[in-house]
Structure 1
């Protein structure tokens, strides 16, 4: 048994854990350790080498430039391409080609597609303006109702007399629905809260900035100035089992608790790890994913009646979904060098069938998993690879690589109407749902969430006005949840909270 005695323990070495640690070191506080369950730092930022390039298995982009601390660090340290060194708007590159095809490989009518996109964007604008005083509704239903209403205003009445036309505009909606599920990290937009949709704040500037050498270069840059001290404090392969808080209470005649087996100091927290490490500390910063908290937090913190009921409810109510990548690696590209995206517009039989499909929650159905692929696109950093993005459905995590190769090849051949497309020579895929340390990708406001749920999750657990257990991570930022920059800022927030306590000041 190895025992550490320290003032602070940070659980998790993702971006919020690292930003918390670096902020503390920059402020001359170094009496802490970081305990990471995995064998690497980075959390849901996970860059892997591949041939002469690299692939991002987790976070892919910097979202926005103005006011984004991740963009600022990346820009100042030459981590991103020169084109992004100035603030740029979302503009399409005219040389790039987007293939928006139906199941038979036929290109969707461009005029109809443009009308549909306009009506969808307008529907999202209406959703953001939705009054909090109105009845609670789900986002998916609201968007569809307004999309159809706006399409009827745009198109000739006779258009809607043909069932095939209705199925076509439903198919376009269905594709956009899946795209938004990927963007928001949910399984279905019917799971999302309409009232809270506008809480997310989109930062000005380009939303799809990629690193020249992957997100791992961001971590290397953050740590570089404090490398020696950081390396001395990071402990990998430490899976947390319990957080024990002393609860000897005279009024209940409890004079000894589980905590007391390891420490006779009531003001110390005891952390137990799967490798028999024991940590005695004054304070803990938990940076685990919301998916992990949902499944484990009430079991690992003992006694769990220290967790306020409102925090328990908030953790349960907030949404946490899965976005995965299936990376198909080929001997050489079979696609045009100007290809930007392949958008598969899956067929729908009827409005009712579409809603049944989009509202499905049974991810054990083999026939459905590939239908949740919303885009297939090249990647900047590996010329022989395509990335299939899939949201919500995690059935493929249980499949073999050969099964995935066959199904993805079938999909590509159908939507591109090309039987000569080869099977990939290799497949890499993320498995965020089945990874017990994450249980998904990122958070969203669910239909039954309360507006204050993120605030409740972020609130420290304290006794006698002393913060014992603090929380950081993307799911604890009220406006930038689901993003790397949101997670980064929450790590700094919790470090500032600790520094303020040390200085006997309040935040």
Structure 2
């Protein structure tokens, strides 16, 4: 039971509870074995794995009013679009592909960055010569393909590497000093910033690129019914809805976490963690799995935890980087662009032409792409400061400036009258306080501070040697960072960490498994001594456990 104290001072009655040496106002208190902060891919992966393996006394605290996190499939036009994660990247070793492909949930995306499907438009609205396009594009692809080997011991930025190699490749070439060659390098720079979520590839670590592991196979698998389908796969709603794991009912929405007290709790709360939410509620658990984005940890990590996180953890949060990538989706009454192209880019071939005032942001759009299953929709991709500026624009201004840009370049290039869009939708990952960015990358600061994803993933241990704070999310994955499959694997990793912890803390006796008093109550166990659920042991250890 929680110790409750009532103090009366004339007209004021204050109800308080003791959780540390500090008195805190109590609104609601609940107690579970595991709290998971965040209902994104990693949070849902952790929750479903724990439930499957017998630990179902859990709670998910989600600040948004939906599950998915940076997976955000929303209705638009005649179907759905993705405001966040777009494609399944690769096949071999990709947990998402493994789950989805067996049920036929994926399809070939119309986007594959085949040069034959791409159009480059110059600053004057002319389509750039295709032979020249293919030649410059080929040179840049060669540099990209050789980078994994070249960057192993490289100490500079990705931008320094690419710029130097590009200059070398173009020595003696007729286009070596041309504005078109520089415009192509600028285009690849923007593409790199989309891929890494960086403001500039001069802040992206060259060596850090080697850490990322590409899953072999097609890199742009699209979902037939939206990326949120992966959440149904994790919950076992697919293939049979009757087998859905009870995760949704354990989720508290609009539960924004303000404070996490993780050490030196007193009395019956010894070795526990208290999580306080903005609505005044307090939730207590033996362990907390944090799946917060790196952006939130950077913004709030210094004051969210009491006591402060260990120095190594704070250093990892500081050294790993996260940036912003956004989309603008435009739904037209009909398809006015050529059927045989899927990607459209405007190159800054006129270096003397300056954009006017705040409208410069639109010139930093990397590409306009067609959208799978949406024949009348175009999607614009942009990152960095341009994306942050775009997020703050009034919708009417955003619509007008985007329309003007498209008409000025694409309309002229294809000699068509571009209609006004019927609908517009945009993402806002940077300005959303529950994300503060899109996904993580390895920056030059990562190298300077010599930090790693493994340090971010390391559990925080209390004074009694118990791992009370566990960390998951794409930024904690050493090789699949920035991806959904990396996020899911990290959730599974932390769930496994807890199941193995309870396996070690529950020694066998007389052919059965006994729970230590402080471990109770654990769902799936007899109150005193009981056998381990077969599904738990078979899933993690290959066979039922025995004495």
Q: Normalising TM by the smaller chain, what interval?
A: 0.7 to 0.9
Contact 1:339 1:377 in 2 (8 A): no
1:116 aligns with 2:113: no
Greater shift, 376-385 or 8-17, is seen at 376-385
> Partner of 1:123: helix, strand, or coil?
helix
Cα deviations by residue, 1:235-291 (Å, 9 ceiling, x for unpaired) = 1111001001243xxxxxxxxxxx66xx75221111101112111111100001000
Q: Distance in 2 between matches of 1:297 and 1:93?
A: 44
TM-score, normalised by the number of residues in structure 2: 0.81
Q: Which runs of 5+ in 1 are unaligned?
A: 248-258, 358-364
Cα distance change of structure 1 residues 140 and 98 upon mapping to structure 2, 3 Å threshold: same
Superposed, 1:118-267 pairs within 5 Å as 118-130=138-150, 133-134=153-154, 136-153=155-172, 155-156=173-174, 159-160=175-176, 166-225=178-237, 227=244, 229-247=246-264, 264-267=268-271
Q: Is contact 1:132–1:195 with CA below 8 Å preserved after alignment?
A: yes
Is the Cα–Cα contact under 8 Å of residues 170 and 348 in structure 1 kept in the other structure? no
Rounded Cα–Cα distance in structure 2 between residues aligned with 1:378 and 1:133: 38
The match for 1:460 is: 459
**Distance apart, 1:483 and its partner CA:** 0.4
* Contact preservation (8 Å) 2:115, 2:134: no
Q: 1:91 to 1:171 in 2, by over 3 A?
A: closer
Matched, 1:10 2:2: no
* Residues 121-154 of structure 1: per-residue CA shift (max 9 Å, x gap): 23234432235555x211112101111110125x
What's the offset of the Cα at 1:30?
0.5
Shift of 1:315: 0.8
1:339 Cα shift? 2.7
Gaps of 5+ in 2: 1-26, 238-242, 507-539, 541-547
Paired residue for 1:319, among 321, 332, 345? 321
Q: For 1:288, which of 287, 292, 297 is the aligned residue?
A: 292
1:448-475 deviation line (CA, Å, top 9, x unaligned): 2135421111111112431110100000
Equivalent residue for 1:448, pick from 440, 445, 449: 445
Distance 1:140 1:454, change over 3 A: same
The answer on whether the counterparts of 1:66 and 1:203 sit within 8 Å (CA) in structure 2 is: yes
Report Cα offsets for 1:172-219 as digits up to 9, x if no partner.
Answer: 110111011111111110110112211111111111111001011221
Rg (Cα) greater in structure: 2
- The alpha carbon displacement at 1:343 in A equals 1.2
Matches within 5 A, 1:273-284: 273-284=277-288
Q: Distance in 1 between matches of 2:418 and 2:474?
A: 39
Question: Secondary structure of 1:210's partner?
Answer: strand
Match of 1:347 among 331, 349, 359: 349
Contact 2:151/2:209 (8 A) holds in 1: no
1:376 match: 368
- Corresponding residue number in structure 2 for 1:64: 90
The answer for the alignment partner of 1:496 in structure 2 is: 496
- Aligned counterpart in structure 2 of residue 386 of structure 1, from 378, 383, 387: 378
1:439 Cα deviation (Å)? 0.5
RMSD: 2.4
**Per-residue deviation at 1:109?**
2.2
Would the aligned equivalents of 2:272 and 2:468 in 1 still touch at CA under 8 Å?
no
The 10-residue stretch of structure 1 (384-393 or 107-116) with the greater mean CA deviation from structure 2: 107-116
- 1:306-349 deviation line (CA, Å, top 9, x unaligned): x2212211111211010100011222221233330111112352
Query: Map of 1:50-61 to 2, 5 A cutoff?
Result: 50-61=76-87
Could you tell me the TM-score, scaled by structure 1's length?
Answer: 0.87
Structure 2 Cα separation of the partners of residues 492 and 106 of structure 1:
51
Q: Which moved more, 1:122-131 or 1:409-418?
A: 122-131
Once the two structures are TM-superposed, the CA of residue 91 in structure 1 deviates from its matched residue by 8.5
Residue number among 43, 56, 63 corresponding to 1:30 in the alignment: 56
Would the alpha carbon gap of residues 264 and 246 (structure 1) be closer, same or farther in structure 2, given more than 3 Å must change? farther
Cα distance in 1 between the residues matched to 2:198 and 2:288: 29
Aligned CA distance change for structure 1 residues 93 and 37 (closer, same or farther; 3 Å): same
2:402 to 408, 420, 425: 408
Assess if the C-alpha contact under 8 Å between 2:40 and 2:71 holds in 1: yes
SS in 1 for 2:316: helix
Quote the residue 2:125 is aligned against.
105
Q: Is the Cα–Cα contact under 8 Å of residues 36 and 237 in structure 1 kept in the other structure?
A: yes
Shift in alpha-carbon separation, 1:336–1:121, aligned structure 2, 3 A: closer
Count of residues paired in the alignment: 466
Paired residue for 1:255? none
1:425 counterpart (422, 425, 439): 422
Please identify, of 453-462 and 8-17, the stretch whose mean Cα deviation from structure 2 is larger: 453-462
